[in-house]
Amino acid sequence: MILLGSPKNTTQKIIKVIFVSCLAVVLVVGYLLSNAKPAQSTAAVEASMSEVVVKNPVANEPQPRKAMAEIIDIKAPAAISVKIGTGENAILLGKNETQPLPIASLTKLMTALVVLENYDLDKKIVVTDAAMAEAGQQGSLKAGELLSVKDLLYITLIESSNRAAYALTEAMGPEKFVETMNAAATRLGLVDTRFADSTGLSSDSYSSAQDIATLSSHLLNRQSLFLEIIGLKEYDLYDSDGQLHHRLINTNELLGQVDGVIGGKTGWTPEAKGCFMVIEKSPDGTGYIISVVLGSDDRFTEIQKLINSR
């Protein structure tokens, strides 16, 4: 007689349990493998992360954006709108934004940077006959007039005066000044930019909408006086005796007319046509939006199209 719990029966039961357990494990593993998503390698994950980190707010984009022609009708050959804000920098719209083009008086943005980085703003400069020989009728400068660097910078940026810009250039020396402008362009990574003068009159100067936005962003973030100056619709300069010296009217027609616009810089020559950089407060209050048009026949209207597209 075979008793329950004998060695033979126990061995058979153990074998059955092991077999069933193994079968269950095989089925579960097979199911998991068939439904699992392929794992990314560390390198792939890092690459994916790097695609959404924007170190340069103008030269990189955190996500694809539509070409400008798909959204609004901009006839200017090149244009760009860039959101500048901590952690949210992005190109919003772009059209041929890296194409080098003449930029006229947008050149004075770099003139301003060189002055702000290298000059004593209180230093006095004499306006020379050479400065007065520069083309343009902007402002009411006179040969022999003594002005501070700061006053000349106001005249340069508000009235876009070629004569004031050249007077600033002479304090360093025209050749050295232009060398410093191009060195600063290299330092800022403005790869589509070259300067031949401080005024923008030279046909040998050029830049791109993207580079102008990058330069403007740098000035906005690093030079508080820049925004203070370009945000003035009008400004009166007084001499040491308290007498009115110069009354300046900003060439930016959108100041005080378009909500959110807090500054900008205009430019025009027959070759460059209408050029315009404008800074506006971001509608969500988290930063700024810089927009640029180059080569436009109607720069103020086209900038407003960029503003109204958001």
CA 41 – CA 212 distance, rounded (Å): 39
Q: What is the mean pLDDT of the chain?
A: 83
Q: What's the predicted TM-score (pTM) here?
A: 0.78
HSE at residue 270, side-chain half, CA atoms within 13 A, is 2
Q: Which residues, at least 6 apart from 145, have a Cβ–Cβ distance to it below 8 Å?
A: 126, 127
Higher per-residue pLDDT: 25 or 124: 124
| Chain segment 52-62, per-residue pLDDT in tens | 222 344 555 44
**Residue whose token pair is 């971001």:** 282
pLDDT of the residue at 194: 99
Domain ranges of the chain: 57-308
Question: Which amino acids are annotated catalytic?
Answer: 105, 108, 160
CATH architecture of 57-308: 3-Layer(aba) Sandwich (3.40)
Mark the binding-site residues for substrate, compressed into ranges. Answer: 265
Mark the binding-site residues, compressed into ranges. Answer: 265
Least confident residue range of 63-67, 123-127, 269-273: 63-67
Least confident residue range of 66-75, 210-219, 229-238: 66-75
